[in-house]
Structure 1
Amino acid sequence: MKYFKKSFLLLLTVCLFQILSAQKLLTGFPNGSTPKEVGKRLAYHFIDGRHELYAGRWIHYAEVCTWNGALDYALKTNDQELIKLLQDKFEPFFTTEKALLPPMNHVDYNMFGSLALKLYQITKDERYKTLGLAYADTQWDAPANAKTEEKAWAGKGYSWQTRLWIDDMYMITVVQSEAYKVTGDRKYLDRAAKEMVLYLNELQRPNGLFYHAPDVPYYWARGAGWMAVGMPNLLRLLPADHPDRPRIMEGYLTMMKSLKSHQGERGMWNQLIDEPDFWPETSGTGMFTYAFIVGVKEGWLDVATYSPAARKAWLAMVPYIDQRNNVTEVCIGTGKKNDKQYYHDRPRNAGDLHGQAPYLWCAAELLGE
């Protein structure tokens, strides 16, 4: 019996040592690659940047994503100056820049509400709450002039903005999740979870990856990245007994296992995940890295397997930031197309906010609680 106890304690000690060692892989980064340094570079660079507009008229969702990331970083570092600058950047939307607010009639536009709701949680300024909830609620309340297909989705309890593009699993879930955080109203959480399960059932393939859309059978990195970020963010909020939690967790774990197997030797993922001859793409890599980091921190992913992978990816990502604090090798905005060469030939932008955002998400997450 004594031998059994000693063996058990030894095994337990070894296991704890391995877990702690793996967890430490997400700290102790070399100078120039620490999440605090990288996050500061990108967040303050965002402050100085011009608005990125959608269709030349309204705030683009990529800017909202980056703004949210900068706020998360500012909160983790308790950078009050940065919080104030980010708040000041928003203030004109109530006055001189009100015309730049996106209309409440498209999945990419309505996610703007997530930013207002995040700012409300920081400031308790009711103006943010009113604006943000309007975007969250109109994402579900079909307008009178909605198309037949849109009304059909609404009739089934889904967002009338449902289109089954993989991108939607961040655009829809982020604003509904922030509305839940602000109000505590379970309907917002249930909406996001119901929508997530629909997209999982329609788009996830047996190998754990996702088509860009049902009629576009390509594993586009950033497209899949929206799902990779949306699932763990939602899982953090879902109660243990939520009926949709098991399906979402299954989808998440299956995806993470597949992503691990497709990670490149240097730590990156390619523009099309399963195409070794395609180029390493930074926005998708940042999103997948974020998903690994969250999974390790929450205990959903094996630390000995995924901590080294996350560290490797982060260290591979940092050199893609140029001297102007722009993330390079970012695929530009990409609509679906059933053409493999189309994805290969997409232009790559330096400083594109599609890439700046996931870098900030990773930096904030690596900084701990």
Structure 2
Amino acid sequence: MNPLYISQKLYEHYEHVEEVKHYYGLLAIYALLLTAEEKQDPVLLEKCKTVLSRFPDRIEHPTYNFPSYRIGGIPKAYALMKGHMPEAEDQVRQYAEEMMTAARDRSGIMSYPYAPEREMIWIDVAMAVTPYLLFAGLALGEERLIDEAANQSFLMYEEFLDPENGLLHQSKNFAGPGKYSQDHWGRGNGWGFLPLAELVQHLPQHSRHRPKAEKYFRDLAAALLPHQSERGLWRQEIPFEYSYEETSGTGLFLYGIGVGMRCGLLDRDIYSPAFRKGIEGLNQISINVDFSTERSCPGCLCPGEGDEKGTVKSYVTLMLPHRDEHHSFAPLMFAMVEAYRNGLYDLPRKSEA
């Protein structure tokens, strides 16, 4: 089965399960845009534009950490950058400027907006901020937005890096003043890898940010590679062999690896076998015949209570996966787009295997 078809069907299943919104929904819309572009499908592209046109006025919005979600966030900025929605320019500009005023900790990392004095920071923010500001900056010709897009990912990578294994922790100050979460959470590392992947594929070649973006991207890819399971997936707690295999982090890693191979930053001889094994593993293990999904961790920010808050035990035992978890769809779609871009045009489905 064509992986672009799988990506499209994943989105269709998602929109039947729940209204597609919030950051995880916006990422799925972004992945659908990429799918439409790769398919060169004007009907699907028009659907993407119609979906995005519902933001902000025809969506019932929850409370957001980043108000850019109200207008369609990352996919709206991407659609503007690619010329699909020129009418979005004023919206994208307004919310880029709003994002530039976000609360920050003393090192300049955007922090939890509802308690700025506690300087609570978490790697998920790199995903929320970097692609939006990068696409907005490129669309609007605003170098300072591109600078901040790169700066936020770099600062968070440096802050959360575990030098012993090259992986990332998720958060600081959520478990208590000065305390880091003890995890190497799968999707959290994906939230760090995704924006680096966007930087290395979209930054202008002459950008002063490119050398650092490429280094951090390569370093994180190399740190992830040894931890792939025999079935092709990565785990909820990446280096812990008894942790469950997890879908959303795996999808984000495969997206990044696919980008890296296409951009000439990752050696195909080293990464292509892992990429293929991962795509085949996701296809067989995490995507059901009806395009429902399995094995995605639910929302997970420094879980646990008391002394166990932010411990590996809490990430592994409290945050258990379930079918059609709403974070699952976008990473799986991203992975399928990169499968196609990297020459995997026909994947066996469960009923065909």
- TM-score of the two chains, using structure 1 as the length reference: 0.79
Q: 1:314 to 1:221 in 2, by over 3 A?
A: same
Please report how far the alpha carbon of residue 49 of structure 1 lies from its aligned counterpart in structure 2 after TM superposition.
4.3
Amino acid of the residue matched to residue 188 of structure 1?
Answer: L
2:39 counterpart of 1:67? no
Partner of residue 258, structure 1:
223
- 8 Å contact kept, 1:112–1:135: no
- 8 Å contact kept, 2:261–2:268: yes
**CA offsets 1:147-183 (integer angstroms, 9 cap, x no match):** xxx3665xx7664668431111111101101102311
Aligned counterparts, 1:177-188, within 5 A: 177-188=134-145
**CA offsets 1:275-325 (integer angstroms, 9 cap, x no match):** 000110000111111111111111111110101110000000012212331
**CA offsets 1:15-54 (integer angstroms, 9 cap, x no match):** xxxxxxxxxxxxxxxxx3x3123123213334444315xx
Partner of residue 348, structure 1:
321
The 3-state SS of whatever aligns with 1:354 is: coil
Q: 1:212 to 1:366 in 2, by over 3 A?
A: same
Separation in structure 1 between the aligned mates of residue 246 and residue 240 of structure 2, nearest angstrom: 12
Q: Which moved more, 1:156-165 or 1:133-142?
A: 156-165
The 3-state SS of whatever aligns with 1:353 is: coil
**CA offsets 1:248-279 (integer angstroms, 9 cap, x no match):** 32222121112111111111111100000011
Q: Which moved more, 1:359-368 or 1:241-250?
A: 241-250
Amino acid of the residue matched to residue 186 of structure 1?
Answer: E
Partner of residue 170, structure 2:
212
Partner of residue 74, structure 2:
114
Separation in structure 1 between the aligned mates of residue 94 and residue 290 of structure 2, nearest angstrom: 37
Structure 1 residues not aligned, in runs of 5+: 1-31, 53-58, 143-149
- 8 Å contact kept, 1:139–1:159: no
Amino acid of the residue matched to residue 298 of structure 2?
Answer: I
Q: Which moved more, 1:217-226 or 1:177-186?
A: 177-186
Q: 1:91 to 1:182 in 2, by over 3 A?
A: same
The 3-state SS of whatever aligns with 1:232 is: helix
Partner of residue 358, structure 1:
331
2:28 counterpart of 1:79? no
2:142 counterpart of 1:170? no
2:202 counterpart of 1:237? yes
2:9 counterpart of 1:41? yes
Separation in structure 2 between the aligned mates of residue 111 and residue 335 of structure 1, nearest angstrom: 24
- 8 Å contact kept, 1:114–1:175: yes
Please provide the CA RMSD for this pair: 2.5
Q: Which has the higher helix share?
A: 1
1:248 to 213, 216, 228: 213
- 8 Å contact kept, 1:221–1:271: yes
Please report how far the alpha carbon of residue 102 of structure 1 lies from its aligned counterpart in structure 2 after TM superposition.
6.1
Aligned counterparts, 1:280-295, within 5 A: 280-295=245-260
Separation in structure 2 between the aligned mates of residue 44 and residue 98 of structure 1, nearest angstrom: 18
Please report how far the alpha carbon of residue 341 of structure 1 lies from its aligned counterpart in structure 2 after TM superposition.
2.0
- TM-score of the two chains, using structure 2 as the length reference: 0.82
Partner of residue 226, structure 1:
191
Please report how far the alpha carbon of residue 120 of structure 1 lies from its aligned counterpart in structure 2 after TM superposition.
3.1
Q: 1:80 to 1:49 in 2, by over 3 A?
A: farther
Q: 1:113 to 1:132 in 2, by over 3 A?
A: farther
How many percent identity over aligned positions? 24
1:301 to 235, 246, 266: 266
Partner of residue 196, structure 1:
153
Separation in structure 2 between the aligned mates of residue 91 and residue 242 of structure 1, nearest angstrom: 32
* Higher CA-based Rg: 1
- 8 Å contact kept, 2:29–2:75: yes
Partner of residue 4, structure 1:
none
- 8 Å contact kept, 2:232–2:274: yes
Please report how far the alpha carbon of residue 99 of structure 1 lies from its aligned counterpart in structure 2 after TM superposition.
4.5
